A and B are shown apart, each in its own frame.
Chain A
Amino acid sequence: MVYHKQDILNYTIQETANDLYDKQIIDKTLYENSITGFQHDLYSPSIFLRIVGGIITFIGCLFGGGFLGLMFNFSNLRLIAFLDGVFSIVLLEIIINNKKLFNAGTDNVLQLLAVGCFIYFLTTNDLYPVNNAFTYFVIMILCIGCSYRYIDSFMALIANLAAVIFIVLICFTFGNIGKMIAPFIVFIFSVSEYFILKKVLSDNEVFIYKKVIQSISTLSLLLIYCSLNYYVVCELNNIINNTHNTSIPLGFLFWMTTFFIPIIYIYRSILMKNKTLLLCGVGCLVTSFVSFRFYHSLLPTEWALFIVGLLLILSGYWLIKYLKETKNGYSSQNIYQQSNKNALLESMIASQVAVSSASAIDKTQNDIQFGGGSSGGGGANGVF
């Protein structure tokens, strides 16, 4: 790990204290004592500054790469990629050591750039044969290394995805049987990963990696679902075999799992009072309906939107009323501090829909345009 352990420990304690204070579980005195008692000098800014830091670094690196390219006249791209990778890692280590950057955008971009350059360097050569499985194995190893050294959740997620693709590609080397069992292997891998991570999370030793483990754990929930989702299996099957089938062997089983896994998530989340599991369950259930609609369209899009919209309004309203008093550990009352941070997002989405809706009708008049005269999310691109 590149950081001092105490710094990261104090940072994680401050974050936990912040979270508990927001939820009004600890009082202000205890919160302030936790903040002053566990000082750190890490630079880990808010999301806006992270994005800005990331963009500035990316553009800077792009031009820096251009400089290296010009130096070598763009003749040996492997060498340029290698130098770029080394340069990014050295720069990353220097700025972390001097300026204590932690998830500040700049360090994330430099990590990505270094990993990307090294992958290019290792997988484009004439010395040894390179296949896809090897590429994903390299990605996995590099990302695990970065995630461990820089405590980076994003790198851990990429490593996990690369591991799954690596497993699938290894399965494919066993021919048709391998292709058939690949979804089940991914399922078993993800389920085991989820339960192992759940156990690991309670260990005090991994406290500083808490966020990384939580992110992989959430991803493994989604992978469990995706591995047995009918749409995913069918479409991947089509891509591999270059076919356009809408049915697959054991189709019924996959439809069952497509709908049952989200229901199990939701049921378990209610029992365990687990919000992440609940949101995953709801998201997966919505995906299941969209998957079903993809193959068996029961209603035209406009009616589907109209009915689902109405159902969402009614169910949302009913749930707000129903959960006014806490039930099964869930509440619709906002106990956290009021914040206006979603106001801009709200106004942006609303204005997008308003203009799209208006232009849906407006488009029927060829000679007259208003509201910017464009079609957007309303999907009104059909022929009238």
Chain B
Amino acid sequence: MFFKQLIEHQIINPEQEDNIKQKIKNQPVVLHFELLSCLYFGILMFVGGISMLVYKNIDRIGHLAIIIVLLLTCIGCFFYAFRNAMPYRNIKVQQKNILFDYVVLLACLLFPVVLGYMQYQYQIMGNHVNLISLISSIAFFYCAYYFDHTGVLGLAITALASLFGLSITPLNLLKNFDYDSKQLTIVAMLYGLMLYGLSLLTIRKKIKIHFSETYKNIGIHLFFIAGCFVMWIYEPWFYLFCLALIGLSYLTLKDAINKNSFYYFAAALIYGYFYLISFLIKITIMVKIEEGGLMILTLLVPALAGSFIYLLIKYYKFLK
């Protein structure tokens, strides 16, 4: 049908059709992404298996044996990485070997396992356990920039967050994050802001500009998710926080429109929607107009949904 239509509209002629069909027939099936995923999950399973092995057999295998094996693997990977790395540049560096990124990732994943084990066995940091997060984080940042590795940058950001008591892995944000803690939610917001600042700085200083996306992405989500809880925790300042967050969502939305970014446009819209609903719910609770208030709320929220969807459709055309 595709070719029939193209011929009918005189976009191609039958000869071109045969050429394209031949090209399609000869085109190889590309397994690039699938094979890289295979390597990636292999490394994650390998490290997961090693850390479980260490954990389960910590009293049975000789401590020295574990340390030596882990250390040698880690050092081996780092040795390979430093030996084969392309020289550092402020722009994106494409490594020569396809395996390189995965060796760096393996080394960096093993690093906290080794460090954690040494702390457990020899208390190398004494009681200053936070130093492990700090050292890991510094090492990860160094590796991320030196080897130009976005995955390791994610590790660095997570390790630095754990230094402040935050656990910002996706599963923890959903399951274990302490949303009731006054201190943690504010720290999460500030950390999110800091990451956003780093993203701007990265662009301004033109150092690894492609990293700015990772900083901005994690930063914005962390800031706005923590914001959802901050306004309810600090109830006396609810309206202040809520209006400030609505304002910031609006600014993010405008920024997304200016930069033609679907992704941030969608994120800002959804957070703004949540804040506005929170605002309406708070007003309903405050005025205590019982069922009448609830009726108005159940009418206002769908109306709000309608206007947001209208906004989505309207700006989609511009962003297109």
**In the complex, how many residues of chain A place their beta carbon closer than 8 angstroms to a beta carbon of chain B?**
114
- Take A59-B277, A349-B44, A382-B56 as given contacts and tell me if A66 and B298 are in contact as well, using a CB distance cutoff of 8 Å: yes
B64 at the A interface (CB under 8 A)? no
- Take A56-B273, A312-B38, A376-B171 as given contacts and tell me if A353 and B301 are in contact as well, using a CB distance cutoff of 8 Å: no
B65 at the A interface (CB under 8 A)? no
Most interface-central of A16, A38, A310, A332 (chain B CB within 10 A): A332
Interface stretch (choices B82-90, B128-136, B194-202, B242-250): B128-136
- The reply to whether B44 and A344 form a contact with Cβ atoms under 8 Å apart is no
Q: Could you tell me the distance between the alpha carbons of A366 and B35 in the complex, rounded to whole angstroms?
A: 40
Most interface-central of A95, A300, A307, A313 (chain B CB within 10 A): A313
With a cutoff of 8 Å between Cβ atoms, the chain B residues found around residue A66 in the complex are: 294, 298
Interface residue ranges of A323-361 to B (CB < 8 Å): 323, 326, 329-336, 340, 342-344, 346-358, 360-361
- The reply to whether A45 and B262 form a contact with Cβ atoms under 8 Å apart is yes
With a cutoff of 8 Å between Cβ atoms, the chain B residues found around residue A64 in the complex are: 298, 301-302
- Take A49-B262, A70-B295 as given contacts and tell me if A378 and B52 are in contact as well, using a CB distance cutoff of 8 Å: yes
Interface stretch (choices A26-34, A128-136, A222-230): A26-34
B158 at the A interface (CB under 8 A)? yes
- The reply to whether B306 and A60 form a contact with Cβ atoms under 8 Å apart is yes
Q: Specify the main secondary structure of chain B where it touches its partner.
A: helix
With a cutoff of 8 Å between Cβ atoms, the chain B residues found around residue A365 in the complex are: 120
Q: Could you tell me the distance between the alpha carbons of A32 and B29 in the complex, rounded to whole angstroms?
A: 25
With a cutoff of 8 Å between Cβ atoms, the chain A residues found around residue B286 in the complex are: none
Residue-wise interface mask of A (19-47) relative to B, using a CB-CB cutoff of 8 A (1 in contact, 0 not): 01001011000100110011000010110
Interface stretch (choices A147-155, A211-219, A233-241, A314-322): A314-322
Q: How many pairs, one residue from A and one from B, have CB atoms within 8 Å of each other in the complex?
A: 342
Q: Could you tell me the distance between the alpha carbons of A75 and B153 in the complex, rounded to whole angstroms?
A: 55
With a cutoff of 8 Å between Cβ atoms, the chain B residues found around residue A67 in the complex are: 295, 298-299, 302
- The reply to whether A372 and B305 form a contact with Cβ atoms under 8 Å apart is no
Measured between C-beta atoms, what is the minimum distance from B216 to chain A in Å? 10
Measured between C-beta atoms, what is the minimum distance from A382 to chain B in Å? 6
Interface residue ranges of B7-59 to A (CB < 8 Å): 9, 11-12, 16, 20, 23-24, 27-36, 38-56, 58-59
- The reply to whether A377 and B4 form a contact with Cβ atoms under 8 Å apart is no
- The reply to whether B158 and A316 form a contact with Cβ atoms under 8 Å apart is no
With a cutoff of 8 Å between Cβ atoms, the chain A residues found around residue B263 in the complex are: 48
Interface residue ranges of B84-117 to A (CB < 8 Å): 98-99, 102, 105, 108-109, 112-113, 116-117
- Take A43-B316, A66-B298, A309-B42 as given contacts and tell me if A48 and B266 are in contact as well, using a CB distance cutoff of 8 Å: yes
- The reply to whether B48 and A379 form a contact with Cβ atoms under 8 Å apart is yes
Q: Could you tell me the distance between the alpha carbons of A354 and B299 in the complex, rounded to whole angstroms?
A: 46
Size bin of chain B's contact surface: 35 or more
The 19 listed contacts between A and B (C-beta, < 8 Å) are: A49-B266, A56-B269, A59-B305, A61-B302, A63-B302, A64-B301, A302-B49, A305-B45, A308-B49, A311-B42, A312-B39, A313-B39, A317-B99, A320-B39, A331-B32, A333-B30, A347-B150, A361-B55, A369-B129
Chain A residues near B (Cβ < 8 Å): 9, 12-13, 16-17, 20, 23, 25-26, 30, 33-34, 37-38, 43, 45-46, 48-49, 51-53, 55-57, 59-64, 66-67, 70-71, 95, 99, 101, 104, 106, 204, 207, 273-275, 278-279, 300-317, 319-320, 323, 326, 329-336, 340, 342-344, 346-358, 360-365, 368-374, 376-380, 382, 384
Counting from the closest, the 5 A-B pairs by CB-CB distance are: A347-B154, A372-B167, A60-B305, A312-B42, A306-B49
14 new A-B pairs (CB below 8 Å) besides A67-B299, A308-B45, A332-B31? Answer: A34-B11, A45-B312, A46-B262, A63-B305, A70-B295, A304-B49, A305-B45, A309-B46, A331-B29, A334-B33, A357-B48, A361-B120, A368-B119, A368-B127
Chain B residues near A (Cβ < 8 Å): 1-2, 4-6, 9, 11-12, 16, 20, 23-24, 27-36, 38-56, 58-59, 98-99, 102, 105, 108-109, 112-113, 116-117, 119-120, 127, 129-130, 132-133, 136, 150-155, 157-159, 162, 166-172, 176, 210, 213-214, 217, 262-263, 265-267, 269-270, 273, 277, 291, 294-295, 297-302, 304-306, 308-309, 312-313, 316
